[in-house]
Structure 1
Amino acid sequence: MTKAMIDTTLQSLDTRSRDIFRYIVDSYLRDGEPVGSRNLSRMLSASLSPATIRNVMSDLEQLGLIYAPHISAGRLPTQKGLRFFVDAFMEIGDLSDEERRAIDAQVKASGSGASLEHMLTEASQMLSGLSRGAGLVLAAKNETSLKHVEFIQLEPTRALAVMVSQNGDVENRVFELPPGVTVSQLHQASNFLNAHIQGRTLAEAKIEINRIKDETRAALDALSQDLIERGLAVWAGAESGVPGRTPGRIIVRGRSNLLENVTAQADIDLLRHLFDDLETQDGMIQLLDLAEQGSGVRIFIGSENKLFSLSGSSLVVAPYRDKDQRVVGALGVIGPTRLNYARIVPMVDYTAQVISRMLR
């Protein structure tokens, strides 16, 4: 919601309406159950009759903030109501010193002497455990300097491309070979690349190979040239269909948390949509785009996030940055719309800060 929309909605609510609305949302975030007027009359400190509360709830429904899931049932917040609550009323908590030390220790322990992917996997697992949702980390394409590239033939028409970076990370990709490629040509292409890419990032390597095209044509036959182009394209994100964007790797831990207390077939179908969304390369690119659009933590509720709109899930996400302050990935928590936003936001924010410090 825009600030103007929030202000307009706030002005239309008196103190009584605000209290009742907050109780409905708080109850939903805590229990996931609708709240009726009789229960609200017992919960509120002011002496309000169920009939008075029903009148207020009717007004809140007219504003689109709450709805009745069944006839004669209690009320639940709508997606618009949740967004309004988050923007207008929610008080973001802060992590305790003990929680900060625990996150520091776990991230640093997982990053000490280990690969970046291991550190990010552990961060995803940690967020899952702390939030009881699914921890999600997107590792954008690695832009560290390259050390070695090798092509290994698997079948007559398929090969494994292995890229080793200066910091020890290893990435493998399978790609299609042009017809007629020999093992000797694979070695020739590997050796040529290694002579020109060492110490360069992937983007710099592509520029360099393009710069020396004439030299390449003189040194290599047509098949070997094709191999080099295909090998670089494997890591360059050409297969994603999004020019200039590389999908990277997505790490999800704690999916089983999302299955807890799920019994209705409709909820199971929503989760199936979510799990399908998490497997798509386009989804990974969209996730990084979402994180890049803001400087800190962002909250997406239900269909506000097109990536997970079919599943109706909520996402709390923050970017993490390298030593040059470039956004190189994102991390967060995904789960049902009744996530404990006030607790999860500072948790995601601080974990992103710790990861960023580790990458400097």
Structure 2
Amino acid sequence: MATPLDHSLDRVRSRGLTSLNERSREIFRQIVDSYLAYGEAVGSRQVSKLLPTPLSPASVRNVMQDLEEIGLIYAPHTSAGRLPTELGLRFFVDAMLELGDVGPGEREQIEAQVKAAAYEQPLEGVLGDAMSLLSGLTRGAGVVVTMKEDARLKHIEFVRLEPERALAVLVADDGSIENRILHIPPLLPPSALVEAANFLNARIRGRTLAEVRREIEASQTAAERELGELTARLVDAGLASWADSAGSGPQLIVRGQANLLQDLTAIEDLERIRLLFADLETKKDVIDLLSRADSGEGVRIFIGSENKLFSLSGSSMIAAPFHDEHQRIVGVLGVIGPTRLNYARIVPMVDYTSKVVSRMLQNR
């Protein structure tokens, strides 16, 4: 569904592109570049000094007036310089952005971080480490959303804690561990804990919890005959507990929020970051926004109020999906920060990180 910003962009393209000659484009570029670098409004006199072809401040002011009329720039205060509007930033990103490349040192850092974490940690830890590195490299907050799927199982154990309570421990193939407290039948002998664990361990290796549970439920009578009624109830309680906690919904990881507190130049900046922190606490909205980036290939850029999540904080997000060995999109990672993110540098960095994570998943 088209948004008001989409319609505004259509107007800019129909009115703006035809009227933006090379001089207008260069002046607009200087205003955007100054904002992205310093976060400050720039005046006609300063722009005239930055242009590759000499132009008087008066001539620059005339062009700036035209840019303001089509909605690409605005004056934050009377007699102040000009800043790009969110519409202007979107126009710049879509039509004028010249992407850089990820440097060799940064490539090595990203690859080494993901590779080292993949040897030692389950997927959630790998993604968390990758986002910590990405947030440090970009000075934004690293975010990732991925689906938590049923893990392939490796081992189950029951440990009695009290006469009617036991600790159930489930170990997955990826190294993750789930612990749950269970209520166990009264008068259950100690041997029943061992028997229940042996019964499950003979059936679980390399299979998901859902697969094991379906099999046992289909042969409940046979299980009770093999185990005895009390021990079978313990097996059922353990499977039910894990099933209740192993939901396959989207999981959100956020790293590096503190980076957003750097380089604040005004009270308004501090308030904006406070609002962004509040946005990041609204996990469902962040997940929904990230999930919009899994609808296609490549990097997506969300700027300011074109998304309701950032309508108050005026923030941006650059995000890209990553894939499993079947080329299915299994998650989205990205960077959130102020609208003056260094798009030319961060877009290729997010894209590269998503490709490294995809390769890791495909080789696990």
Q: Taking structure 1 as the reference length, what is the TM-score of the superposition?
A: 0.80
Percent of aligned pairs sharing the same letter: 54
Find the residue that maps to 1:137 and give its secondary structure.
strand
2:246: which partner in 1?
235
1:241: which partner in 2?
none
- Aligned residue among 314, 332, 354 for 1:330: 332
Go from structure 1 to structure 2 and tell me whether the alpha carbon gap of 1:7 and 1:62 turns closer, same or farther (over 3 Å shift): closer
How far off is 1:74 after superposition?
0.5
Go from structure 1 to structure 2 and tell me whether the alpha carbon gap of 1:14 and 1:284 turns closer, same or farther (over 3 Å shift): closer
Go from structure 1 to structure 2 and tell me whether the alpha carbon gap of 1:256 and 1:11 turns closer, same or farther (over 3 Å shift): same
How far off is 1:5 after superposition?
5.5
Find the residue that maps to 1:112 and give its secondary structure.
helix
- Do the aligned residues in 1 keep the contact of 2:316 with 2:338 (CA within 8 Å)? yes
- Do the aligned residues in 2 keep the contact of 1:196 with 1:209 (CA within 8 Å)? no
2:129: which partner in 1?
122
Counterpart CA distance in 2 for 1:152 and 1:263 is: 56
Counterpart CA distance in 1 for 2:258 and 2:176 is: 29
Counterpart CA distance in 2 for 1:26 and 1:157 is: 67
- 1:166-185 alignment runs, 5 A limit: 166-171=173-178
1:250: which partner in 2?
253
- Do the aligned residues in 2 keep the contact of 1:35 with 1:75 (CA within 8 Å)? yes
2:328 maps to a residue whose letter is R
Find the residue that maps to 2:68 and give its secondary structure.
helix
- Do the aligned residues in 2 keep the contact of 1:193 with 1:228 (CA within 8 Å)? no
Find the residue that maps to 2:246 and give its secondary structure.
helix
- Aligned residue among 153, 165, 168 for 2:172: 165
How far off is 1:236 after superposition?
1.4
Aligned length: 348
- Aligned residue among 292, 302, 310 for 1:290: 292
- 1:186-225 alignment runs, 5 A limit: 197-202=204-209, 204=211
- Aligned residue among 337, 356, 360 for 1:354: 356
- Aligned residue among 87, 98, 105 for 1:80: 87
Go from structure 1 to structure 2 and tell me whether the alpha carbon gap of 1:161 and 1:105 turns closer, same or farther (over 3 Å shift): same
How far off is 1:143 after superposition?
4.3
- Do the aligned residues in 1 keep the contact of 2:302 with 2:316 (CA within 8 Å)? yes
Counterpart CA distance in 2 for 1:150 and 1:312 is: 50
Go from structure 1 to structure 2 and tell me whether the alpha carbon gap of 1:322 and 1:57 turns closer, same or farther (over 3 Å shift): same
Tell me whether 1:310 sits opposite 2:312 in the alignment. yes
Counterpart CA distance in 2 for 1:280 and 1:313 is: 14
Identify which range, 112-121 or 14-23, moves more after superposition: 112-121
Go from structure 1 to structure 2 and tell me whether the alpha carbon gap of 1:53 and 1:326 turns closer, same or farther (over 3 Å shift): same
How far off is 1:26 after superposition?
0.6
Identify which range, 74-83 or 289-298, moves more after superposition: 289-298
Counterpart CA distance in 2 for 1:157 and 1:308 is: 50
Counterpart CA distance in 2 for 1:271 and 1:214 is: 59
- 1:49-64 alignment runs, 5 A limit: 49-64=56-71
- 1:27-106 alignment runs, 5 A limit: 27-106=34-113
Counterpart CA distance in 2 for 1:83 and 1:200 is: 47
Radius of gyration: which is bigger?
Answer: 2
Tell me whether 1:132 sits opposite 2:139 in the alignment. yes
- Do the aligned residues in 1 keep the contact of 2:209 with 2:239 (CA within 8 Å)? no
- Do the aligned residues in 1 keep the contact of 2:185 with 2:233 (CA within 8 Å)? no
How far off is 1:349 after superposition?
0.8
Identify which range, 224-233 or 94-103, moves more after superposition: 224-233
2:281: which partner in 1?
279
Identify which range, 33-42 or 284-293, moves more after superposition: 284-293
Find the residue that maps to 1:359 and give its secondary structure.
helix
Tell me whether 1:320 sits opposite 2:322 in the alignment. yes
Q: Taking structure 2 as the reference length, what is the TM-score of the superposition?
A: 0.80
Counterpart CA distance in 2 for 1:352 and 1:257 is: 21
How far off is 1:85 after superposition?
0.1
- Do the aligned residues in 2 keep the contact of 1:141 with 1:249 (CA within 8 Å)? no
How far off is 1:171 after superposition?
4.4
Deviation readout 1:178-219 (Å, 9 max, x if unpaired): 9x9869699699787666654223554566567667878996
2:3: which partner in 1?
none
How far off is 1:57 after superposition?
1.4
How far off is 1:65 after superposition?
0.8
Identify which range, 139-148 or 186-195, moves more after superposition: 186-195
1:242: which partner in 2?
none
- Do the aligned residues in 2 keep the contact of 1:247 with 1:281 (CA within 8 Å)? no
Unaligned runs of 5+ in 1: 238-245
Counterpart CA distance in 1 for 2:247 and 2:299 is: 28
RMSD over aligned Cα atoms: 3.6
